[in-house]
Chain A
């Protein structure tokens, strides 16, 4: 037990030059949690500013920069790398019974590219700031002052980090599965990561070139997005959403992948409809490329395009619905235990259902015209991104924490924090659905008096939410100071990652595991008793 990946080899330098996927995963985890803290602080500042109309703690210009930074940090620095690059890096090779990812050095390179991108983003923040919103819409983004050029370059660089992770995971899943693990014996987490990686590889380069074009437009006035020079600003929106809508699924698919692991484990039941869940991940990835126009219903694109995009958008609901029903069917008549990972998984089911269904209001042309650019949209994507992805990330973090660090956290405090986060989240964002449906526009610094009660409600919710995260930081930090005593398989789960020690040895497995049965076989009462190696 003493010789694990955390302690061997020793020394700071051995971490900086490591090619071990587990260490890279841990470094990613520390980095994205820092980004989450930063983005979270900006979120709290936004909510405090909106406590009452008019000037409270910052000027209108500062407010524009703060909400841009909140969005850009949360998306590019936190949520996109969160599950794949941090948790996925750590657990995917373990789940497949592999010693590492296919390209360990590329993996380390992707981490350093991420760090470089993050540093560029921070530089852009402190040298002029960015006030365009994370969407960088032209022609504003090509004419406003500040560090838009640097920020778009930072996002360009971060894109490469994401592409390299995606390439690495696809090759890993194709070539490094343990003997006996056919495609349909893979954990569903791997299917979800695979679908995510496809989108990362196919969509991110388009964002890359789009961001370069913004830089070109700012430096050379090349004209492509500038109507004064004969260009087309709507073309930018097409380019941007061609990446950024699939990117939404880069964010949610890995979340769904975690839920498919946690729910069977804490329901003590085989997953219901394995193949349907696996295929629906791929279906979501496919459809994701055909729906970008639903962000542009009021941009002036042709009515025919609007109708087609609206119809295609409804299609996304089918594979998403398939997944949700399968998870619920998995829980049906299961022996459910409500430890922290399961609490977050159930939060995910509830919140993602609301987030998904409110998405249909926005995908429907007639209602979107009214709801476009209101708080309804803000609430919708926070339900999907935070209520969905972040809850799933927290489920995964709590599920694999003992595996990653060999220590258990305080279950009692974990439940308290899960409850606070669930309540705080709903108070913060349910109120924003109401605000939006009553006409409160998003990104506004000031608002009419009639909206104040709901804004106060939302801001108080953000404090409850914040408190939940502070408690989480406390008990997770405290757990790291405990002795290494987590068992190899604290939850009695059946994945291969639980068959090696916690924390795992440097090369993952003492001997290469051989897969002989189906995944999610919870038919034997206590699988860990039979399968854990010494």
Chain B
């Protein structure tokens, strides 16, 4: 380690000279990762837009099978979780360990509620035979071709759900580190980056909700 002004902290990796340099690198990496996530979902958004324009009637008819209320509640839940996540980051930056733990727990609970509601929605769809592609078996449709909507519904909300699940795993790890007392104003990158990721997952849902639930 070369001689520098800043004392090398416990979590400073050997190839960085300052904690600031390390934190900046982490942020760049995370933002780039978020860009790749946007593009990953972007493919589905483009596919959805084109298929919807080709099969407008079927998509409008199919979306009536979704429960707007549940979708709305989930939107509120996720927005709340973004707030609690932001508060966790804020408190990590200001050395309030207990609050970090509480806010992380609240965020985890919100994520759990979101997935719980999604589970209720999914089981309802399974029950009705509102399934993707060749597994679509809903009876009594007046407009044909509704399976395509549910192909996209399950692919988009499924991929999004996996991201929620992944976020929860990471959050549990960050929580463990917060309990252990790893974070302080000079080192809170993991909380910060988890926050960035979580806001993106939230943002994607904010687009998914009107796209899937509020078509006209």
Chain A residues close to B by CB (< 8 Å): 98-104, 106, 163, 166-168, 170-172, 174-176, 201-206, 208-210, 213, 216-217, 220-224, 229-232, 235, 239, 507, 511-512
A224 touching B147 by the CB < 8 A rule?
A: no
B47 touching A174 by the CB < 8 A rule?
A: no
Query: In the complex, what residue of chain A is closest to B46 when comparing beta carbons?
Result: A239
B43 touching A202 by the CB < 8 A rule?
A: no
B196 nearest CB across to chain A (Å): 14
A104 touching B43 by the CB < 8 A rule?
A: no
Q: What is the size category of the interface that chain B forms with chain A?
A: 35 or more
Residues of B within 8 A of A104 (CB): 13, 15
CA distance in complex: A168, B43 (Å): 24
Query: In the complex, what residue of chain B is closest to A197 when comparing beta carbons?
Result: B32
A19 nearest CB across to chain B (Å): 9
Residues of A within 8 A of B13 (CB): 104
CA distance in complex: A400, B134 (Å): 54
From the candidates B29, B35, B51, B148, name the one contacting A202 in the complex (CB within 8 A): B35
A205 touching B2 by the CB < 8 A rule?
A: no
Query: In the complex, what residue of chain A is closest to B20 when comparing beta carbons?
Result: A175
Check B179 for interface membership: any CB of A closer than 8 A: no
Residues of B within 8 A of A217 (CB): 133
A221 touching B42 by the CB < 8 A rule?
A: no
Residues of B within 8 A of A216 (CB): 132-133, 151, 155
CA distance in complex: A176, B18 (Å): 11
30 contacts between A and B (CB under 8 A): A99-B15, A102-B15, A103-B25, A104-B15, A163-B36, A167-B29, A167-B33, A168-B29, A170-B32, A171-B28, A174-B24, A175-B16, A175-B25, A176-B15, A176-B21, A202-B35, A202-B39, A205-B40, A205-B42, A209-B40, A209-B43, A216-B151, A220-B135, A223-B148, A229-B148, A231-B148, A232-B54, A235-B47, A239-B46, A511-B2
B89 nearest CB across to chain A (Å): 20
Query: In the complex, what residue of chain A is closest to B150 when comparing beta carbons?
Result: A222
Residues of B within 8 A of A224 (CB): 47, 51, 148, 151-152
CA distance in complex: A162, B46 (Å): 23
A223 touching B147 by the CB < 8 A rule?
A: yes
A103 touching B29 by the CB < 8 A rule?
A: yes
B61 nearest CB across to chain A (Å): 14
Residues of B within 8 A of A168 (CB): 29
B32 touching A232 by the CB < 8 A rule?
A: no
CA distance in complex: A100, B15 (Å): 6
A220 nearest CB across to chain B (Å): 4
CA distance in complex: A98, B17 (Å): 10
From the candidates A98, A208, A230, A239, name the one contacting B145 in the complex (CB within 8 A): A230
B2 touching A230 by the CB < 8 A rule?
A: no
A221 touching B134 by the CB < 8 A rule?
A: yes
Query: In the complex, what residue of chain A is closest to B145 when comparing beta carbons?
Result: A230
A286 nearest CB across to chain B (Å): 15
Check B165 for interface membership: any CB of A closer than 8 A: no
From the candidates B14, B15, B42, B47, name the one contacting A213 in the complex (CB within 8 A): B47
Check B121 for interface membership: any CB of A closer than 8 A: no
From the candidates A171, A223, A231, A232, name the one contacting B25 in the complex (CB within 8 A): A171
Most buried by A among B33, B38, B133: B133
CA distance in complex: A220, B152 (Å): 11
Q: What 4 A-B pairs come out closest when comparing CB atoms?
A: A209-B43, A222-B151, A220-B133, A99-B15
A82 nearest CB across to chain B (Å): 22
Query: In the complex, what residue of chain B is closest to A242 when comparing beta carbons?
Result: B43
CA distance in complex: A99, B2 (Å): 11
B147 touching A205 by the CB < 8 A rule?
A: no
CA distance in complex: A140, B42 (Å): 25
A102 nearest CB across to chain B (Å): 4
From the candidates B32, B35, B39, B133, name the one contacting A222 in the complex (CB within 8 A): B133
CA distance in complex: A223, B134 (Å): 9
Check B73 for interface membership: any CB of A closer than 8 A: no
Chain B window 116-141, contacts with chain A (Cβ cutoff 8 Å), 1 for yes, 0 for no = 00000000000000001111000000
Residues of A within 8 A of B16 (CB): 175-176
Query: In the complex, what residue of chain B is closest to A174 when comparing beta carbons?
Result: B28
Check B99 for interface membership: any CB of A closer than 8 A: no
B50 touching A232 by the CB < 8 A rule?
A: yes
CA distance in complex: A210, B42 (Å): 11
B15 touching A170 by the CB < 8 A rule?
A: no
A507 touching B43 by the CB < 8 A rule?
A: no
B14 touching A507 by the CB < 8 A rule?
A: yes
B51 touching A220 by the CB < 8 A rule?
A: no
A408 nearest CB across to chain B (Å): 30
Check B55 for interface membership: any CB of A closer than 8 A: yes
Check B37 for interface membership: any CB of A closer than 8 A: yes
Q: Tell whether A205 pairs with B54 under 8 Å between CB atoms, given A102-B29, A171-B28, A210-B43.
A: no
Q: Tell whether A222 pairs with B43 under 8 Å between CB atoms, given A98-B15, A205-B37.
A: no
Query: In the complex, what residue of chain B is closest to A106 when comparing beta carbons?
Result: B29
Query: In the complex, what residue of chain B is closest to A507 when comparing beta carbons?
Result: B14
A175 touching B24 by the CB < 8 A rule?
A: yes
Query: In the complex, what residue of chain B is closest to A175 when comparing beta carbons?
Result: B25
Residues of B within 8 A of A231 (CB): 51, 148
Query: In the complex, what residue of chain A is closest to B48 when comparing beta carbons?
Result: A224
B158 nearest CB across to chain A (Å): 10
For the A-B complex with A203-B39, A221-B133, A230-B148 known, give 17 more contacts whose Cβ atoms are closer than 8 Å.
A99-B15, A102-B28, A103-B29, A104-B15, A174-B28, A201-B35, A205-B36, A206-B42, A213-B47, A216-B132, A220-B132, A223-B148, A224-B148, A230-B54, A235-B50, A239-B43, A239-B47
CA distance in complex: A511, B3 (Å): 10
A99 touching B14 by the CB < 8 A rule?
A: yes
Chain B window 139-171, contacts with chain A (Cβ cutoff 8 Å), 1 for yes, 0 for no = 000000101100110010000000000000000
Residues of B within 8 A of A221 (CB): 133-134
Residues of A within 8 A of B40 (CB): 205-206, 208-209
